Chain A
Amino acid sequence: MLGFGILWGLASVWLADPDLLPSPSVVAQVFWSELRSGEMTVHMLATLARVVAAFVLAMSVGAVLGVIIGRKPNVDAWVSPWLIIFLNLPALVVIVLCYLWIGLSEVAAITAVAINKIPMIAVMMREGARALDPALDDMTQAFRIPPAARWRHVIVPQLAPHLASAGRAGFALIWKIVLVVEFLGRSNGVGFQIHTYFQLFDVARILAYAFGFIMIMLMVEYMVVQPWERSVSRWRRYAN
């Protein structure tokens, strides 16, 4: 972090063009003033809400779809060509089409992000469902464990590591796509602000928003995602 700051400071001195690459202290000042005016908080919260909505939608649809195709090869045969198409569809195409077909609305924005993410989550969860231990399946059947308990205690814990890595990969990509969606067709959010300052050629503000948001995402990663991942894989420390 410190090394990056020093490198950036040196680069800005060397370039000597504050319009193109403002120094870290200038960006910090802009960041502080945007934060104090309340402007940044409003846009950050708007973006964060979209990230959360798209994440929840993509994870739930993707996980359910992935588990179904992982358990049922005949459904997989039908679904997997579609997954390949959607995996290779550029995010930008999906976003533009959603805006054209659904309209420039919140629903279109969140749908576009979720559609971009669902195939990857489904593919990761499919691998998880395929890796379910058949011996444990036999055990649940022999002991006639009721379906609810079977999901809760036997299946979901086996899927949890896959769910965690799908969640982490999904989260990393979703917030980047949300910024693009905001850039193209929303009137608030970090992406919208970057769009505005792009047109004004205000690099300091673009950097201030970008770093502010990256900081929030890092906090989510270290304070939510990683502790959760550790807690679901706690039992693994006894392996070997």
Chain B
Amino acid sequence: MQIDISGKSIGQKPVLGRIKLTLAEGEVLALTGPSGIGKTTLARLIAGLEPAKDSNISETGRIGMVFQEPTLLPWRSVIDNICIATGCDAAAARKALDNVELGDRCDAFPLQLSLGQQRRIALARALAARPDTLILDEAFASLDEATAARMRDLTRRILEGAGFRTLLITHNLDDAAELADRVLLLGGSPAQILAEHQVNAPRKALDRSVEIKAIRAKQLGFEPNDKP
């Protein structure tokens, strides 16, 4: 999948500059950068939620999206939420819920669940859509440390060996280093891709602290090797 965006303004303010990126089949690409840099705008462009003038986004196929907020329908049960959004049958929805370890909460209503559980339902919904492209927009933000770690683990298991492309939008370098094959750093105003980092043995249980340091260094604009 090829994405070539010539720029995007919101109102008068240019948010994104020229951005070119590719996303291979089965690849997990993390887009990271400080809050408010335009990561979500880029995700919305790719998902077709924003008009993309003068931009070239090759066929994304079916999109499954996990938003910053769970965006569930509070008046429908968990299983209905999945069936309505994706058009899948109850059995497929149940399977998706089993995948996020919430198979026992099919008949609950979203407001009966914690934020972490609602996020997992949103993830199950995106998976039930049998996506060609999965977009996770800050899917672990505003969760407590333990819940975020659990959700990260779950996502790692799901992404391992998944056939679809994944775009992981996050301001958190830990998330990026743990889940992605490749990390793109977004920065500047209007935002551009500043650097790229290929993750070592992606999604393996390794200590990522050195790698995160390397990414952070790229973000700050110098290579760690430059320092004695």
Interface size for B (C-beta < 8 A) is 26
Please provide the chain A residues from 110 to 163 with a CB less than 8 Å away from any CB of chain B in the complex. 135-136, 138-145, 149, 153-154, 157
Q: List B94-132 residues whose CB lies under 8 Å from chain A.
A: 109-112, 125, 129
Residues of B within 8 A of A157 (CB): 73, 75
Number of contacting residues on A, CB 8 A? 19
Bound Cα distance from A169 to B69, whole angstroms: 34
Determine if B212 is an interface residue (Cβ-Cβ < 8 Å). no
8 Å CB contacts to A: which residues of B64-116? 64-65, 67, 69, 71, 73-76, 80, 84-87, 109-112
B73–A154 CB distance below 8 A: yes
Name the B residues within 8 Å of A149 (CB-CB).
Answer: 84
Inter-chain CB contacts under 8 Å: number: 57
A235 within 8 A of B: yes
Instruction: Verify A153–B69 contact, CB threshold 8 A.
Output: no
- The answer to whether A138 touches B73 (Cβ under 8 A) is no
Q: What's the Cα separation between A141 and B63 when bound, in Å?
A: 10
Q: Kindly state whether residue A238 has any CB partner on chain B within 8 Å.
A: yes
Contact (Cβ within 8 A) B73 A145: no
Bound: A135/B49 CA distance, A:
11
Q: Does B23 contact A (CB under 8 A)?
A: no
**With A143-B129, A145-B85, A157-B75 as contacts: A238 and B63 at CB distance below 8 Å:** no
Least CB distance from A194 to B in Å reads: 43
CB pair A136–B71 under 8 Å, yes or no, is yes
Given A235-B111, A238-B74, A141 contacting B67 (CB threshold 8 A) = no
**Closest chain B residue to A135 by CB distance?**
B71
Question: Does B48 have its Cβ within 8 Å of any Cβ on chain A?
Answer: yes
Q: B65: which of A142, A145, A153 is its contact (CB, 8 Å)? A: A142
Determine the distance from Cα of A235 to Cα of B87 in the docked complex, in whole angstroms: 22
Interface residues of B in 9-38 (CB under 8 A from A): none
Output the least CB separation between B32 and chain A (Å): 21
Partner of B85, one of A135, A143, A235, A236: A143
Q: Is B47 an interface residue (CB 8 A)?
A: yes
Residue of A138, A153, A238 touching B71 (CB-CB under 8 A): A138
* B residues 174-217 in Cβ contact with A at 8 Å: none
In the assembled complex, the CB of A179 is this many whole angstroms from the nearest CB of chain B, namely 37
* A contact set with B: CB distance below 8 Å: 135-136, 138-145, 149, 153-154, 157, 234-236, 238-239
Q: Which residues of B contact A (CB under 8 A)?
A: 44, 47-49, 63-65, 67, 69, 71, 73-76, 80, 84-87, 109-112, 125, 129, 135
Complex A-B, nearest 9 residue pairs according to Cβ-Cβ distance, in ascending order: A238-B111, A235-B75, A139-B71, A142-B65, A143-B85, A157-B75, A153-B84, A135-B71, A238-B112
